[in-house]
Amino acid sequence: MARSALLNVMVQAALKAGKSLSRDFGEVQNLQVSVKGPGDFVSQADFRAEKIVREELLKARPTYGFLGEEGEEIKGTDGAHRWIVDPLDGTTNFLHGIPQFAVSIALERNGEIVAGVIFNPATDELYTTEKGGGAFLNDRRIRVGARKVLSDCVIGCGVPHLGRGQHGKFLIELRHVMGEVSGVRRMGAAALDLAYVAAGRLDGFWEAQLNAWDIAAGILLIKEAGGFVSDMKGGQEMFENGTVLAGNEYIRKALEEVVNRPVPQA
């Protein structure tokens, strides 16, 4: 695949941060860990990775804005462009030695995501995409799954944990989905879950209480892989309300209907 200069910058930043994360992953028991909130850990690995990504991106495009999980937002003088970065998506997996985590980088132009990179250094899998240019895994073009009925599908989800509300609401959604699908998976890294939808590994995905940096790159990856992404109500306010629902044309729509199914009254 031919990459633009900007996508090459993003790839190099992700690979460099990934090397840092790989070293820390090998020393996971020795990491200095602080508690950011109940059940929400942040490590020195997060900060190191974000510093690397920020420096690499802003060195290449110093006028662009920067929104990352671990630091304050940088307002760029450019006005039109902003990097949206999660330096370590799947922090809890990382700290428990589970190799399901990633660096996620997206480029926003005038409010629209135009490029994305998701890199899992533990598996050496690099997902890349540009608007109008398709979606790729290690330079191999990927497409969303072709299944058309939920009963054939494996669906990914996020599960609210300690410190996150709406446990009861999620359990209702899960009960509805469980009765319709072949399997449900919770892997613990939303960026990779979306990448898996783009690659056809998961047929669909839904989650609430997400941030822009969790989903920005994955949203474009799915669209460029021929898929569809919406918020939980079928709209396009994923960043505004922190919800996401994804799949191919048929599965996204069917999943939307199931997760929003009314609870039967006793």
Residues pairing with 82 in the sheet: 65, 108
- 40 appears as a binding residue in the annotation: no
- 69 appears as a binding residue in the annotation: yes
- 214 appears as a binding residue in the annotation: yes
Alpha-helical (H) ranges within 5-127 are 5-26, 44-60, 91-95
Q: Say how far apart CA 81 and CA 63 lie, in whole Å.
A: 8
Q: Say how far apart CA 33 and CA 117 lie, in whole Å.
A: 27
- 86 appears as a binding residue in the annotation: yes
- 89 appears as a binding residue in the annotation: yes
Residue 71 makes CB contacts below 8 A (sequence gap 6+) with 50, 54
Beta strands in 26-143 (DSSP E): 33-37, 40-43, 65-68, 81-89, 102-109, 112-120, 125-130, 135-137, 140-141
Token pair recorded at residue 235: 């709209």
* Cβ-contact 198, 144 below 8 angstroms: yes
Residue numbers in the known binding site for Mg(2+) are 69, 86, 88-89, 214
Q: Known binding site: residues? A: 69, 86, 88-89, 214
